[in-house]
Amino acid sequence: MHVNEVLAKIAGKEQLPAEQVFKNIKSMKGVPAGRLVAIMNRGYSNSLGVSCSHCHVVGEYDSESKATKQVARDMMAMTATINDGLLRKIPNLRSQNPTVNCGTCHNGRARPGAGGGGAQGQPRPPG
């Protein structure tokens, strides 16, 4: 599993800001490196039903060669716009802090929406 390899490489640096531990951090600056790995694994990977290699070149995580990496950054910006601005403007919501995240639309599928399917049409198996 790629996550365990990354965690082994950053052992002892988990609490440092991600940009001090990893190369090419453009989003989530200031997030502790260990937490960033957890967010990527439990958040993005599970929400989209994909593995690290969906957005990253394994072993070259700073590479920009996969378009899905920038799409993920753009989607992060989109959810921030929705959460920080648009949802707060909707009157009569029954939540004090309404939020959306990747799982709101993706539901374990790489392509959200009807018939999206996972990386090969199926959600990623657990583990």
pLDDT tens column, 70-92? 999 999 999 999 999 999 899 88
Give 58's DSSP letter.
T
| 20-72 residue pLDDT tens | 999 999 999 999 999 999 999 999 999 999 999 999 999 999 999 999 999 99
d(CA 14, CA 35): 7
Residue 53: inside a domain, yes or no?
Answer: yes
Question: Could you tell me the CATH number of the domain that includes residue 10?
Answer: 1.10.468.10
Range of the structural domain that residue 39 is part of? 2-106
The DSSP output letter for 22 is: S
> Is residue 111 situated within a structural domain?
no
Q: pLDDT for 40-52, tens place per residue?
A: 999 999 999 999 9
Residue 39: count of CB within 10 angstroms of its CB: 14
The domain total for the chain is 1
